[in-house]
Amino acid sequence: MEQYEGAVMQLKRQVEDERMTCDETVNLLNNALNRFVNMAAVQKDSSVLSRVKSVLYQSGVLHHCITLLTLDPPSLRGNWSAAATLASLTSSCCVGVEPSGLSETFHRLFLPSVMDSLLLLASQLARRTQPVSLFKKVMDSVSRILRTHAQLTMHILSSAHYEFIQGSDATTALLCVQMWIDTCIASSDYLSKLCDDSILLLLNEAVGQLTVTSDTAVGGASVRLILQMSNQLPLQTSRLLLQFKGLDSLLDKDWRGRGFDQEVHQLITLIQSCANTSSVECVRAACVIQAAWRAYLTRRRLKTLNSVVSMLQRRFRARKEQQQQQRAAQQWEEELNFQVCIQRQQARTKFHQKQRQLLQLLPPDQVQSYLQECERRAAVLIQSAWRGFLIRRHLDFQRRTLRHMQTQQHAARTLQKAVRHFLQKRCAADVLVSRCCWIGQKGLTDSQRAVWKTQVEEYVRLHPSMGVSREQCEHLHVDVQRRLQVLKQQMMQRMREHQKIESLLAHTHNQLDLLKESLPLSDVKMTDFERFLSPCGTMATQARDAHNARLQDHKLPWWRTLDGMTAGL
């Protein structure tokens, strides 16, 4: 074993020599690794080969192999055959390594880097349209590592290099699918080491090839891969196949009559049986869940039955007692009302008897006057009560009317205040706009004005206007200013007219509201007339003239009114 270690260290020193080119280094590594593997394989002790591979890993020779495989194509100078051989030897040396204390680094860092380098080389071969044998050799190297380290499956399926290899052409896609089939056949426990996510990705790979490709060889290989997975893992594969809806119809429509009808029929039967089994299992699971839920409800109902019965009995007794109390209270109230009625009737009877006795004591000539006096007093009492009721109702009406009028006046004052504030703000804004319309400089000192004037005159002298003279410009400026002033005066006039119209409309609406809510003529007093007098002199004059004309019309004889009626008709 010591001679192997010495040879490996000498190989490491030769590889690290900077004077060697990449081609020389690749050839050196191919020869040395092939010699080491062959020499260790013929030894009687089977553990020698594993120890040699471990020495190669621990010394860093395999890291140099990965570095060379990840070089750019110009660095390899087209020596793709040597690179494929190096990839095959590197994969062989990675299988059976015993990293001892570096186990976690070996599995989590080194092996993924080896797989990335192999896939990168395979993508370069597919891109360079190299011979298929070299590409197959690299993919066999990938399969060799997967048989021992199945945890790298998800890393490969999620690699960007592998996605490029799949979509390059039908030949590379066929070799990729065939690699998975060979891996499953060579290692019977390969699929059992995978998790559900990895198995689902592998199924997605096969179904995706059936969906996107029309090549017969690729389709047949994909069908065989799915059947191989279902043979090794029947339960998991059947459960995961249910996620691909419409796969059986796709197979029946696109892949029958391609030369592998028996395998297609077998896969369709498997998918349909899985669907039927799934439906039966769903029904059975639903029945079990429903039975368990009903049993739980029944047990809970039985547990709470005694408390529910006790609560119902308690509520029934309380309700019955409450009804008895209500009946007793009603009976006592009726008896009280009956006793009050009897007492009132007895008191009325005693009063009439006493009055009859008093009438018997009076002289006959005074009885009639006494009865009239009693009627008069009763009438006065009734009239006083009725007048008091009318006065109170009238006072309540006046109080509500006064409160309503005060509310209206307060609202009118608020509105008028808001309108005045709005009109003042708009006038101020219009004045600001009119001031901003004036063209000219403001806030300049005499020195600044002289400097600006000098600059303007210099600019005008250097850039004379070809179309308009200075006199015309001054005349145009004066005309524009005059037009702006006229426009401003017109705007102010229209604004004043609009404000006048708005104020007249508001005043008219206010007067109309007062007329609508006025008291009837029977309740109007002399002091209430002042509220209907308009403060506007024009409106007051027109109203007075109209009132006088109406009074004159009423004083005319009836035959003078016929002309007005015919004129109206």
| Cα–Cα distance for residue pair 505/502, rounded to 1 Å | 5
Complete DSSP assignment for 478-533: HHHHHHHHHHHHHHHHHHHHHHHHHHHHHHHHHHHHHHHTPPPTTT--GGGGGGGS
The model scores a pTM over 0.85? no
Cα–Cα dist 397/406, whole Å: 14
355-368 pLDDT, tens digit per residue, is 888 778 778 788 78
Per-residue pLDDT reduced to its tens digit, 495-510: 999 888 888 888 788 7
How far apart are the C-alpha atoms of 278 and 284, rounded to whole Å? 10
Using alpha carbons, select from 37, 41, 36 the residue that is nearest to residue 7: 36
pLDDT at 166: 80
pLDDT computed for residue 353 by the predictor: 87
Three-state secondary-structure class, residue 16: coil
Return the domain boundaries, the chain: 380-520
Tell me phi and psi for residue 179, to 5 degrees: -60, -45
> pLDDT tens digit string along 217-228?
888 888 888 888
Q: Residue 288: pLDDT above 80?
A: yes
Greater model confidence, 316 or 519: 316
pLDDT at residue number 535: 57
**Cβ of 503: how many Cβ atoms within 10 Å?**
14
Find the range with the poorest average confidence among 275-279, 364-368, 420-424, 486-490.
275-279
Residue 209 and residue 222 in contact, taking contact as beta carbons nearer than 8 Å? yes
Assign 3-class secondary structure to 192-218.
Answer: HHCCHHHHHHHHHHHHHHHHHCCCHHH
Decide if pLDDT at 440 tops 70. Answer: no
Per-range mean pLDDT, top range of 350-359, 384-393, 560-569: 384-393
Task: Report the chain's mean pLDDT, rounded to a whole number.
Answer: 80
Q: Residue 437's pLDDT band (boundaries 50, 70, 90)?
A: very low
**Is 86 within 8 Å of 26 (Cβ atoms)?**
yes
| Euclidean distance between CA atoms 540 and 533, whole angstroms | 7
Amino acid at residue number 249: S
Q: Contact 172/139 with Cβ under 8 angstroms?
A: no
Cα(94)–Cα(111) distance, rounded to whole angstroms? 8
The structure tokens 């050839």 sit at: 27
Percentage of the residues of the chain whose pLDDT score is greater than 70? 86
Q: Residue 491 and residue 426: Cα distance in Å, rounded?
A: 12
**Token pair of 531 as six digits:** 């509220």
Please report, in angstroms and rounded to a whole number, the separation of the first and last CA atoms in the chain. 139
pLDDT of residue 334: 92
User: Tokens at residue 70, please?
Assistant: 């990840």
- The yes-or-no verdict on residue 327 having pLDDT over 80 is yes
pLDDT tens sequence across 244-271: 777 777 877 878 887 777 888 888 888 7
Say if CB 144 and CB 92 are below 8 A apart.
yes
Mean pLDDT of 30-48: 76
In whole angstroms, how large is the CA radius of gyration of the chain?
Answer: 57
Instruction: Give pLDDT tens digits for 382-428.
Output: 999 999 999 999 999 999 999 999 999 999 999 999 998 998 888 88
pLDDT of 468 strictly over 80: no
* Length of the chain in terms of residues written: 569
More confident residue, 482 or 545: 482
- Cα 369 to the center of its chain, rounded Å: 96
pLDDT at residue number 386: 93
Instruction: Tell me the average pLDDT across 334-351.
Output: 91
Only one residue has tokens 């529910």, namely: 308
- pLDDT value of residue 569: 42
C-alpha 371/C-alpha 356 separation (Å) is 12
| Phi and psi torsions of 296, nearest 5° | -65, -45
**Residues 180-184: what's their mean pLDDT?**
86
Mean per-residue pLDDT, 472-489? 87
Q: Is the pLDDT of residue 554 over 50?
A: yes
**87 and 138 in contact (C-beta within 8 Å)?**
yes
The closest alpha carbon to 223, from 268, 276, 189, 179, belongs to 268
Q: Which region among 367-381, 391-405, 520-534 has the lowest average model confidence (pLDDT)?
A: 520-534
- In the prediction, which pLDDT does 77 show? 54
Q: Is the pLDDT of residue 435 over 80?
A: no
Take residue 369 and report the two structure tokens written for it: 């006057």
Angle 91-92-94 (CA atoms, 0-180°, nearest 5)?
65
Q: Is the pLDDT of residue 76 over 70?
A: no
Tokens (6 digits) for 398: 């006046």
What's the confidence (pLDDT) of residue 568?
44
The reported pLDDT for the residue numbered 565 is 45
